[in-house]
Every structure is written in C-alpha cells, then in structure tokens.
A and B are shown apart, each in its own frame.
Chain A
Amino acid sequence: MSILEVNNVSIRYLTGDFKEIGLKEYVMRKLTRNYHVNEFWADRRVSFTLEKGEMLGIIGSNGAGKSTLLKAVAGIMEPTEGWVTRQGNVAALLELASGFDGELTVKENAYLRGAMLGYTRKFMDETYDEIIAFAELQDFQDRPFKQLSSGMKSRLAFAIASMVQPDILILDEVLSVGDGAFRKKSEAKMKEIIAGGAATILVSHSLGQVEELCTKVLWLEHGEQIACGDTAILCGLYQQYLDKTITLDRAKAIWASLSGHYDYLIVGSGLYGCTFAREMADRGKKCLVIDERPQLGGNVACEDMDGVTVHKYGAHIFHTDSEEVWNYVNRFVSFVPYDGGYGEAHQGIPKGGYNGLVEGLLKGVPAVTGVSWQMLRSAFPDIADRVLYTGAIDGFFEYSEGHLEYDGLKIELEELEQEYYQEGAVAAPKEDDEEHTGCTRVVEYKHFLDEKSKKTVVAFEYPQEWLPGRMMCRPVRNEKNMALYGKYLTLAAERPEVIFGGRLGEYRYYDMDDAIAAALDRAAQEI
C-alpha cells in the first residue's frame, strides 16, 4: 500500500459570502440585489500516490492550487470532495518564516515551534543547541524575535523544521531560504532527510531543483491536474508552456498522446519518419511521432522570418527522377519549379516551404516535439509494440562503441535590411566579401518561392569540423566508421522491435526523394 494516497481531491473556497463580507455589506448587497456567493475551486480532482523514498515535485504557476493541496495532504484542510490516506506521520514545512511570536525570545519561539511540529520536550532539550548552531543564532538566543532580520527568522525556522524524521515530508519553497551559504547547507540537510527514506513532496519555483531532486512530477494549473508522471518530460513540457511555445491544452494533449499505447513509435520527424508514419497510419496502424527538436520536420523544417520562408537547417531543393515519389509528394503539397542544375525530371520547392509537406504527411498522426527517445524510454517503456528510430544509431546505444562521424556544416543566417542580396537563390560568395571568409555557398531564400518582402534572409554556409552534438550532415562512410557502424548493426540485431531507418539510423546519405522512397519501401515490408 502506498504511504500516501490522494484520491480525486477537490477543495472549494467560498468568496463573498455573509461571513466574509460582514453584516453591513451583506445587508447593503441584499438590498441592491447584488449579493452573490462565488465558489472557487482551488483544486479539482487531483489524484496521485507516493511510495517510500519517492519524491514528488509539484509544479504550476502562482495560484495553481499547490499550497492548498499541500494543506489537504498535511491534514490541515479537509478536502471538499475526495480523500487523502496517509500511512505514517506527516511533517509539513509550509511558509516557514510566519507563525512566530515577535514578543517572545528566540529560544522561546524555538521551543514553541518545536512543539508545533510535534517534537517532545526531551527532544527539544537535546537538539536545541544543534538547532541554534545550525541557524547561526548563538548570539541572539535571548533577543526578542521581532528584532531578527527576515533571513534570520527563516534560518531558525528551517533549522527547527529540519530536525524532523517523518514518514511523509512536505516542503513548500523551503529550500530557498537564507543567503547563498545557508542555502547550500539547507539543501544538503534536506537531501539527508530525503535519503533517510521519507516520502517527500516538494513545491518549488525552481524547475532545475525539481528536475534534479524529484522522481516524479505533478503539474497543476488553475487547480486542475494537467499531468502526473515522469519528471524529465513534464519539466520539459512545463518549460515550453512557460516559454509560451505551447498552450496548456496542447500540453495536455501531448501528455495524453504520450500516455497512450501505439503500434508504432516513430522517433524523429524527418521525411523518412513522416512518410513511414503516413503509410502505416493509412494502413490502419496507430502511430506516435516524437522529435527532440522544438519543431517537426527534421532538417527540412522551415521558419517564416519577415515573410521569407527560411530552411532552418540549410537550403533544401527537392529533385527526383522517380515518378512515384514525385506523385507521392504532390499529394500533399504543390511545388514551385526550380530551374537549377540537377538535371532530374522534377525539381522544385514546396509552396510555403516544407512544413506543409510535413503537416500533410502527419495529418491525423499525433506528433510531439521537445521529447527525446531517452526521455520517453524511461518514462513509458511500453508505449509501442514497434519503434522506428530515425535518430543516430550510435546515440540509440548511448555511444557504447564510440562516435560515428559526419561532415560538418555551419550555417549563419543573416536578416538584412534590404530587398535583395543577390540575383539567384544559390550563389558563390561575392568576391569582394571579406566579412564572410571561408564561406562556400550563399543562399538567399526569398528567390526560391519568389517571396516579396522588404527584408531578406541570407544563409552563409561554412564547412566545419564535425564534433559530437553539432548538426550531422553527410555520414563519413570510411573504413573506420563503417567498421564501427558494423558493430552497431550487431547490437541492433538484438533489438528486433526497433527499426533503424533514415540517414542517421542507417548511417547513409539520403537525398529527400531517396529518403521518401526508402521509407515507402520500409513501410511496405512492415505489412
């Protein structure tokens, strides 16, 4: 049985009722027919369980209902609906610095606080010196409490509270007490208590602290439980929500998608992954696409900058000799012809950029950005029967055999306050350009789709030595790397449920059309 079980807890506040506004106001409002009692749900149907040694982080904006929930857990408040069961004693460290008596001395306050926390007199007698030493208040013991600085008050509060040895420990913003030196000391002390095997609940506005300490996370917003589960994924989603890159509804939808079960999990939303997802979805399979980048599309992802469609990871010109592939992509998006020299039957750039193609391919398929395979694997190990992994194969195995190498490329985007920079879309750098030495290719994006804008966006491309973590372009298929790839293939053979596909998964270069053709093949084999 769980040490703490919170089941469907709702807590309601009434505002503006008779008892709150007083008799005069009540009569006044009654007379003017302006009397309303508003109810306000601080928490709505919150559920979670906590085991020994676990640490739950509660995150959410101000007014999310965190403190109210903690009060219900601590037994200070009765839930309006639902119930809380606790196996063992609870110590709640809430709003530490308040609740002291300014008239009493430091020592008297220390004893009173100890008594409030349920200590015995014997225990206080034994630990009092330790408490005062920890709070560094030896010289202030007999001073009236109101003469202390607020930092000192918090220090004393923390020092007393941290003597607890509870089964369930509730910490509300208590790890951010005092100055830098004391904060370190208090964090160490807190970790010691947690290591002692208590089940802990932590409310903190420091997301880093939550990510570092907590084994799971409960996300509340306006009293509503958005999600409860894996720390890394939820902190990631919450951060995106704070950055306003996703809405709350989107975050909920994402969490719902991640909590489902799928036939195929597709890691990476490049053209290979998206095509595979489309094909499997069309064959009635349930697919989920995830991408660790903040947007979908892998290296073909585009972004609108000042009315110009910019290819974020280098210029992509679609060219193919295959009628099958050309017809396939034209199902989703139409192309603006490109009159460059590839000498192939069809050449062009999708109208509005590649995002339209990606969206078309992923229509009806749930896709989540900002989530990596590593995060998902630990949080939802059973999310799908099969996995298509289009990330780097060495990364899948955590580089156990070493790093595969790629050609490097650095792209510097510049927004220029002029209508045009050069005549064509792709050109060699200008001869008199000394600012961009070493640049091998210059791309002015607006030419691709003949977009009109007062500004222009230009990409300067530089060859660059590749290092782990940098953008991966062409695999360097030399003898050394191929031998290493061979080792990874052997490892991959032990994971029959995982398909390694695409440029990084198969460690081979694919043009866009090749990637699509390969994905179509792969999908056909799966059925």
Chain B
Amino acid sequence: MFKKLIQHRFLFEELVKRDFKKKYKRTVLGMAWSILSPLLQLAVMTLVFTKFFGRNTPHYMIYIFCGNLVFSFFSDATKGGMSTIMGNAGIFTKVNVPKYLFLLSRNIQALINFCLILVVFFIFVAFDGLPFTWRFLCLLYPICCLILFNIGVGMILSALFVFFRDIQYLYDVFTMLLMYLSAIFYTIDRYSYNVQCAFLLNPMYLFIRYFRKIVIEATVPTIWFHLLMAADVVIALGAGCFMYKKYNTKFLYYV
C-alpha cells in the first residue's frame, strides 16, 4: 500500500489540493471558516448549556471544546469521506488508481482542519489557566487513533454509499444520535455505574474522555483505556479494509 502511495504521490498531492481548494471556493473568509465555525459552535453551546450543566463542571468551556474538537473532526472526516468513491467516479472509471487515495486525500483535509482548531484549543486552554504538562504529549495517541478510526469508518461508509445511497440520510441521523450519546456538553456522573460503563462502548466518548483527562484532570488514562481505543480502531479499520478489498472491482458497476 505504501509503495503504491509513493507511486501515486503526485496524484495524491493534487487530490488533496483539489479537495482543499474546492472547500473554500468562493467564500469571503476562506480558510478562516475552519476556525470560525467551530468557535461559533462552541460559543453557542457554552451560552446555551452553561446554565444547565456549567455550574457543577469545572472548566466547562474547555470541557465542551474537547467534545466539539474530537467530534467535529470525526464527523467532518467521515461525512466527507462517504462520498469519495461516488464523487471520484469520473476518475477511477478512466484510470487505474487505488480507490483509497480519494478517501485519504479527504481525510488529510479534515486533519488539517483539525490541527488548526487544535491550535486554537490550546490557546483557549492557556487562557483558561490550565497547566501544560508533559502529559499533553499523550494526546498524540488519541489523535493517531482517531485518524485511523476516521479512515476505517470512511472506508465502510464510502463503500456502502456506492451500493445504498440511502446511507447518507441514515448517517446524518446516526451522527446526531452519536453526538448526544457522546457526552459533549453534559457529564455522566449522575448515571448509574452500569450506564457509565455503557458509555465506554462509544468510541467517540473514549476519544473525548481521553482529551478531558489529559487537559482538565491532568491524568493519563489506564492501559485498559488505551487498549479499548486500539480495539475500536482495529475493528473499524479492519472492516473498512475488508470492504475495500472485497468490493474493489465491483464499485465500477454501481457508480
């Protein structure tokens, strides 16, 4: 795969460029939207929910920001990734190129966005008076996991989307549900132990929780926590690769 990636490096670069250019084409603020839109979202959420949950939660804005940061990366990468096969049909029906290039290029774009917001996030963290410790380096782990997880889910979605167009609507509903289940703006302390454990089944919650632990609580999660995340990544990526492998030659017939 990496050999192929090097072989198609030029195409890959051009695809990334294209995806990037297309995203901000004909907007006045251009790339500034990458930062502005999550900030506005953050502002709205803080405004609305501080009243309900903010009183008992320390560093509530950072708490929300962690959730938003992770979740928007996930939904941006996967929603965008879903249409990569369909959207590039004009290319791969004419030239023999690996189809995952399109998905990877879209994920790179999402990653760049994520990094921009991450910088803003750290600035917010600094303003909020939270200390920067060596533990922040551990954030590399959930970030890497999240990148791989996004690619895996993107693969599954983009493959499914070729066969069932309905998936785009279903997935919208699903992400909304997932967002509410990821404890982005609320805390789960008041639920019973069993319910709290159930939250761990949600990969998004794991990623968000990891960020909060490091940034707000300044503790490194347990080894089991790490392994659980790794397992989620392996499952998603494995399923995605399996689908691409299996349907690689069949996409052509349905685009």
Contacts and interface: CB of A to CB of B under 8 A. Distances in A.
Contact of B164 (A19, A104, A117, A124): A19
A22 B10 contact: no
B22 A104 contact: yes
A99 B91 contact: yes
B11 interface: yes
A68 to B, nearest CB: 10
Contacts of A104: 18, 21-22
Given A13-B253, A19-B254, A112-B15, A95 B94 contact: yes
Contacts of A100: 90
Contacts of B97: 116
Contacts of A108: 17-18, 21
- Most A Cβ at <10 Å: residue of B10, B13, B254: B10
Contacts of A92: 94-96
A98 B95 CA distance: 12
Contacts of B253: 13-14
A74 interface: yes
Interface stretch (A75-83, A228-236, A478-486, A508-516): A75-83
A116 B22 contact: no
B62 to A, nearest CB: 37
Interface string B155-175: 000000011111000000000
B95 A101 contact: no
A438 to B, nearest CB: 64
Interface string A111-129: 1101111111100100000
B90 A99 contact: yes
B94 to A, nearest CB: 5
B10 A121 contact: yes
Interface residues of B, number: 28
Interface in A114-149: 114-121, 124
A71 B93 contact: yes
B164 A76 contact: no
A22 B166 contact: yes
B51 interface: no
A19 B92 CA distance: 20
A77 B92 CA distance: 10
Q: Which label, helix, strand, loop or mixed, suits the secondary structure of the B interface?
A: helix
B237 to A, nearest CB: 24
Contact of B93 (A75, A76, A90, A112): A76
A377 to B, nearest CB: 41
B222 interface: no
A325 interface: no
A472 interface: no
B190 interface: no
Contact of B90 (A13, A98, A111, A124): A98
- Most A Cβ at <10 Å: residue of B18, B25, B165, B166: B18
Given A98-B90, A103-B22, A111 B164 contact: no
A22 B91 contact: no
B128 interface: no
Contacts of A115: 8, 10-11, 13-15
A446 to B, nearest CB: 61
Nearest to B248: A78
B94 A23 contact: no
A78 B10 contact: no
B90 A22 contact: no
A78 B249 CA distance: 6
Nearest to A124: B10
A463 B238 CA distance: 88
Contacts of A77: 249, 252
A121 B17 CA distance: 13
Nearest to B22: A103
A94 interface: yes
Given A22-B164, A112-B18, A117 B254 contact: no
Contacts of B14: 111-112, 115
A76 B96 contact: yes
Contact of A94 (B8, B21, B94, B162): B94
A92 B92 CA distance: 12
A20 B254 contact: yes
A119 B10 contact: yes
A103 B68 CA distance: 30
B90 A117 contact: no
A202 to B, nearest CB: 17
A419 B59 CA distance: 111
B91 A116 contact: yes
B19 to A, nearest CB: 10
Given A71-B93, A108-B18, A115-B11, A22 B165 contact: yes
A485 B11 CA distance: 69
Interface in B90-118: 90-97
Contacts of A74: 95-96
A19 B252 contact: no
A116 B95 contact: yes
A468 to B, nearest CB: 50
Contacts of A117: 95
Nearest to B96: A75
Contacts of A98: 90, 94
Interface string B71-106: 000000000000000000011111111000000000
A116 B22 CA distance: 18
B94 A99 contact: yes
B175 to A, nearest CB: 20
25 contacts: A19-B163, A19-B164, A19-B254, A23-B164, A74-B96, A78-B249, A92-B96, A98-B90, A99-B90, A99-B94, A108-B18, A108-B21, A112-B11, A114-B10, A115-B11, A115-B13, A115-B14, A115-B15, A116-B91, A116-B95, A117-B95, A118-B95, A121-B10, A121-B13, A124-B10
Given A116-B97, A124-B10, 18 more contacts: A22-B165, A71-B93, A76-B93, A77-B252, A78-B249, A90-B96, A92-B96, A94-B94, A103-B22, A103-B25, A108-B21, A112-B15, A114-B10, A115-B10, A115-B13, A118-B11, A118-B95, A119-B10
Interface of B: 8, 10-11, 13-15, 17-18, 21-22, 25, 90-97, 162-166, 249, 252-254
4 tightest Cβ-Cβ pairs between the two chains A and B: A99-B90, A115-B11, A19-B163, A78-B249
